[in-house]
Copies of this chain bind each other. A is one copy, B any other.
Amino acid sequence: MRKNICLLLAVCCSFSAFAQKQQDYPIQPVPFTSVKLADHFWNSRIETNRTATIPASFTRCESTGRVKNFQMAAARSGKFCTTYPFDDTDIYKTIEGASYSLAVHPDKQLDHYLDSIITIVGKAQEPDGYLYTARTIDPIHPQAWAGPERWVNEQNMSHELYNAGHMYEAAAAHFMATGKRNFLNIALKNADLLVRTFGPGKRTVAPGHEIVEMGLVRLYRISGKKEYLDLAKFFIDARGHKEYNKKSKNPFENGVYWQDDTPVTNQDEAEGHAVRAMYLYSGMTDVAALTGDKEYIAAIDKIWDNMVSQKLYVQGSIGAVGDGERFGGNYELPNTTAYNETCAAIGNVFWNQRMFLLHGDSKYIDLLEKTLYNGLISGVGLDGKSFFYTNAMQIRDSFTHPDIERERSGWFTCSCCPTNIVRLIPSIPGYMYAQNGKDVYVNLFISGSANLKVAEKELKITQQNNYPWDGGLVFNIDPASAMDMNLKIRIPGWAQDKAIPSDLYSYEKPSAQKIEIKVNGKAVDYQMDHGYAVISKKWKKNDRVELTLPMDVQRVIANEKLADDNGKIAIQRGPIMYCAEWKDNAGKPSSFIIPKDVVFTPSYNADLLNGVITLKADVKSVNVDEANQNVSTVTSTLTAIPYYSWANRGKGEMTVWFPEQVKYVDLLSK
């Protein structure tokens, strides 16, 4: 594993100010603070997040009593006034998102507001570093989930370490974005309490809802204090040693819900609560990178393969089962009851970024891109103030399920997803580029410019494109002076006829268009390396790279083991998965049959859904004449929109998968 020196602020995964020469990810991300976007698709989302989502989130933290909980804890008096002890984390996550925002968009008022909130948080902290409002407000009568004493309910209910983990993530982001230590010091004091409390010969627990592991790694990167890294590993290794009823199929009884059924190095399947799983695997990847632990790497590689080849929805969502918010069994990917928590998609982005930094393979970014452009941003409405907790695959008038949302809400009693969106959206520029010495990775195609240093020399990369709609991409490579550099541009799996890097989904036929790369107007030969087109040359000022990706409309077919998708097709164009919604399809998007010879016509519509390419095709649909009780087949126009944009125009039916031919109909009387 190569050692790497990185002195830049590294928000997404690494911050190695102290960390010269130590073992770490061989690849380091270019921090989002070095990237300035000028992108139609993402700028509007990030700006909406800044102007609408962040303020709304703070307003809700205040109006729902989340801030009051901290004030009461500061006063050591009152009664915990929200529902869950982990409600504290909504404040942390909003501070984290606001910090990312501040770093690229200075805002004194917001900066002061954060400081005022951080002051309250600091006062809620007990003298020894403990910070958990559900107990500190009234330690004699803590909130029910908190348990009678510190830590005793951690596995099942209290979320004390979950709160700590989110606090560390937020404090690290705030420190890196602002340079201020006020929140960081609170976090370090709390982490020191954990170090005194947990570890060999001290208290042991397998954290009930993982994230403290990632958070401790983040504090380790800032502080260089090895105890934090050791404790992260201790918590990970604590899993799988509790007595469960191994015969039970109930994930609460057999420990699978918490990924606690067996030690992590024995785990080989993505299982249990999907968000917890993503945070655990992310933490394991961090610790593996920092320690070189080969058993961890073997385990997460197996788990990733399992997830991708058996438990991933076609639009990148995970966590099929509502009961337990968890992964289903292998190939258990039902459509009408798909749960797909937004937080799980966000966790999947965290994990895949780490897997890429560890292995340098584009397949992880392929999945990250699929998730990001589809099943993740579907979780927030175009207004930035309405959210999906679940992300449906199919909405039918004839079928309701209590778990499955049909329209977005402003906030939830358990409001993890909205505040996770708050922190994810402004961090997106940090996922675009990465570097390993003279290897520069271009992972995402988003217009704007990035400032890197390659062998101490300045390098500016500018993208000008209209992704994800247009496959013609331009990269301006502008070194301060001529330099040797290996430009590694990700060639997406979908452009190479791989729907995702597994056999779970595939395209019916190859793209008609070909991939082409030109440098300064001339076609070049390039090497492919782990999914990247590598262009090695001495780069000069204003070199121009053009990449053409095929933008055919693709018919996606599913592995036959996916019972709900058998005989059906999904529609993809570039990285975007499509769906059909009631609004464009006379209320009944599921009445269409999409035959093999379908021809879709793409057209950009600037006024629709903040600007989208729609796909239209004239196909057969099955019509019900209610008055005469006649059912017949007619030809009509199917209009598909990007999946991420559904449910922004009221509620009604939506479907991602369409029958290729009809063998049978189910008569519904309501």
- Residues of A whose CB lies within 8 Å of any CB of B are 250, 252-253, 396-398, 400, 563, 566-568, 588, 590-591, 593, 595, 620, 622, 624, 626, 629-633, 659-670
Contacts and interface: CB of A to CB of B under 8 A. Distances in A.
A566 B669 contact: yes
Contacts of A668: 659, 662-666
Contacts of A664: 397-398, 588, 624, 668-670
Contacts of A632: 630-633
B398 A666 contact: yes
Contacts of A661: 626, 629, 669
Contacts of A400: 563
A630 B662 CA distance: 8
Contacts of A397: 664
A667 B593 contact: yes
B563 A665 contact: no
Contacts of A633: 629-632
A669 B662 contact: yes
Given A620-B629, A659-B668, 15 more contacts: A400-B563, A567-B669, A590-B666, A591-B667, A595-B629, A622-B667, A631-B631, A631-B662, A661-B669, A663-B669, A663-B670, A664-B670, A665-B665, A665-B666, A665-B667
Q: Which of A250, A620, A624, A667 has the most chain B CB atoms closer than 10 A to its own CB?
A: A667
A511 to B, nearest CB: 25
B669 A624 contact: no
A669 B665 contact: no
Nearest to A563: B400
A660 B661 CA distance: 26
A505 B666 CA distance: 23
A664 B659 CA distance: 16
Contacts of A662: 624, 626, 629, 631, 667-669
A420 to B, nearest CB: 25
Nearest to A627: B661
A620 B595 CA distance: 28
A590 B629 contact: no
17 contacts: A567-B670, A590-B666, A590-B667, A591-B665, A620-B629, A622-B667, A624-B665, A626-B662, A629-B662, A630-B632, A631-B631, A631-B632, A631-B665, A659-B668, A662-B669, A664-B670, A665-B668
A669 B594 CA distance: 11
Nearest to A622: B631
A269 to B, nearest CB: 19
A506 B662 CA distance: 36
B663 A624 contact: yes
Given A250-B252, A253-B252, A632-B632, A622 B665 contact: yes
A354 to B, nearest CB: 33
Contacts of A591: 665, 667
A632 B634 CA distance: 10
A661 B628 CA distance: 10
A144 to B, nearest CB: 8
